Structure 1
Amino acid sequence: ITLRKRKMYEEFLSKVSILESLDKWERLTVADALEPVQFEDGEKIVVQGEPGDDFFIITEVRGHVPPGTSAHPNPHAP
């Protein structure tokens, strides 16, 4: 991980409410463990209601979030 990315990740993590109890060194440890992941068009990343093993921090979206998901709680939303 580059120093620039590490600083960017640490700064972002400092603003995440569920991680606010971490001190700076703990946030840096988390930042160092982050790995970028890309997904193919149409590939499901998470399915609401199913257990998960991963923690995602979305930095860029070039896709579609279907209605009825937590990003669009109203199934009739555009």
Structure 2
Amino acid sequence: MVASITGMRPAVSADKVSELLHTSLALRPGDFSVHLHHPEDFLIVFASREIKDRLAGDHFISGPGFSLSLRR
């Protein structure tokens, strides 16, 4: 899955993206990893196919100071 910063596109770290995914999507530590990825902002790698399938589809998540668009 890829995650893109939307809107004003502030500088956001992979740690901040990870924190937002944990709180917004009820994910636990070890369920996924976040990697810088171009031309998208981040690549999200899930620990299992079950987690990936549970999050199938596009998502838009608003966090403190930035928003993410997630898609396959």
TM-score band w.r.t. shorter chain: under 0.3
Which structure's residues are more often strand, by fraction? 2
TM-score between the two structures when normalised by the length of structure 2? 0.23
In terms of fraction of residues, the more helix-rich structure is 1
**Greater relative contact order (Cα < 8 A, sep 6+):** 2
TM-score w.r.t. length of structure 1 = 0.22
Structure number with greater Rg is 1
